[in-house]
Structure formats: C-alpha cells, structure tokens
A and B are shown apart, each in its own frame.
Chain A
C-alpha cells in the first residue's frame, strides 16, 4: 500500500537552532499538506501545495517557518529559529487533488519535534 514518507521520525533541537523536516507524498498526488499537531489536539493546517504552488499558507508563522516543494513532488518544512512552543508532531499528508474533499487523503507517520 502506498505511503507518505516523512523523516526524521524524531528530532530534538535546542531553542534558536534551525530544523528541517522532509516529506515524500504518494506518487501522483498533486496536493501536499503540512500540519502541526500539539499533544491532545487535532492537526492544524500550516501550508497546502498544489503541485509546486502554495494555495494556502494563512496559518504558517512566516517569520520563522518556511515550506517549499520545488519540483512539485517532495517537500521540506523549515523552522528557523526554533522556539519552545514549536514542540509538536509535524504531519505531512497528500491527496490526488485539493478538490478530493478528503478522498484519497493519506497522512505520513509524522515527525515528533522537541525543542529544549
């Protein structure tokens, strides 16, 4: 069964350092999403790509977060500098199209970030 690949699984970083997460969506999925999930809460959308273009980054803290999907395939989410409040699970998801309404929407296993 096709999967959304994420790495690393776990990351511990010091406050003010830079950190990056990588996501490889299911082959053929044009839409890629990055979510942040704080423990005990539901995922919060940070950024949504359609191919290589950003279609929604309204919840992305742009002063410290950046995301790119240069060739419309895999994607990188970066935080610089990291703050204690950034400790969370970062989830990547992909779907065939943003018009899919949730159909074919698949999550990766996530990256657990701890900022110390």
Chain B
C-alpha cells in the first residue's frame, strides 16, 4: 500500500533555532516528492519539489533532501522565524495508473516560540 509517514507529529522550537522534519514513503512507482507549508486555516503552499535524480533542493531557509534508495526525505529549516509556525506536509506523486495521484502525509505541526 502506498503510504507517506512523517515525524515528528509536532515540534516546538525557539525562534532562531534550526529543525529537521522527516518523511518516509513506500510509494511505487515514484515520480516526485514535494514539501508543502500549510498555515492554519489556509491551503497548502509548495516549498520544494524533487524528482528521483535530485538529492537536495533549497528555497530560502528551507532545504529538502531526498534519498530515493532508502525512500526518505527531510526538510531542514534554518534560523527559524515565528512565521514558520505551520503544518508541513510531505507529498509523493504516484506516477502510475490513469490518475497520477498525490499521496499525502499527515504533516508535522511546527510551533516557533519567541
């Protein structure tokens, strides 16, 4: 069964600190992996998208890594800000079948405190 699992479920850090969020997936075949940021009460916004051949991709203070062999990804946030408080969702594209679905993780809820 295609699944995306994220850890930790929730995380509290102090402003200015770094943190790393984890994503493990069992999706096959694999097309790409995306990290989304979802503010409370808003829709998800894409941070990065990586294909099989990409190991790392950055977007400002966000850096995502991908190990396609172990089927693991991480999202590293540097010098956190209060505005980083949100849910971060890992999404894997299933490049198979007619509908080419996106499989969503349940997210990591990050709280950045002053």
Residue ranges of A at the interface with B (Cβ–Cβ < 8 Å): 4, 6, 40-45, 48, 55-56, 89, 91, 93, 98-103, 105-110, 112
Given contacts A42-B89, A55-B98, contact A102 B44 (CB under 8 A): no
Q: Is the CB of B104 within 8 A of A102?
A: no
Q: Is the CB of B42 within 8 A of A101?
A: no
B81 to chain A, nearest CB (A): 21
Bound state CA distance, A48 and B101, in angstroms?
10
Residue ranges of B at the interface with A (Cβ–Cβ < 8 Å): 4, 31-32, 34, 36, 41-46, 49, 89, 91, 93, 95, 98-102, 104-107, 109
A-B contacts counted at CB < 8 A amount to 63
Q: Is the CB of A103 within 8 A of B49?
A: yes
The residues of A that contact B93 with a CB separation of less than 8 Å are 101-102
Q: Is the CB of A98 within 8 A of B102?
A: no
The residues of A that contact B46 with a CB separation of less than 8 Å are 105-106
Most chain B beta carbons < 10 A, residue from A55, A56, A102: A102
Give which listed residue, B45, B99, B106, contacts A42 with CB less than 8 A: B106
Given contacts A42-B106, A56-B99, contact A101 B41 (CB under 8 A): no
A-B contacts besides A44-B104, A56-B98, 17 pairs, CB < 8 Å? A40-B107, A41-B107, A42-B91, A42-B107, A45-B101, A45-B102, A56-B99, A56-B101, A89-B41, A98-B98, A98-B100, A100-B100, A101-B93, A102-B49, A105-B102, A107-B44, A109-B43
A53 to chain B, nearest CB (A): 12
The residues of A that contact B36 with a CB separation of less than 8 Å are 107
Given contacts A101-B95, A102-B32, contact A107 B106 (CB under 8 A): no
Q: Is the CB of B42 within 8 A of A99?
A: no
Bound state CA distance, A40 and B100, in angstroms?
25
The residues of A that contact B101 with a CB separation of less than 8 Å are 45, 56
Given contacts A43-B104, A109-B43, contact A101 B98 (CB under 8 A): no
Q: Is the CB of A107 within 8 A of B107?
A: no
A49 to chain B, nearest CB (A): 11
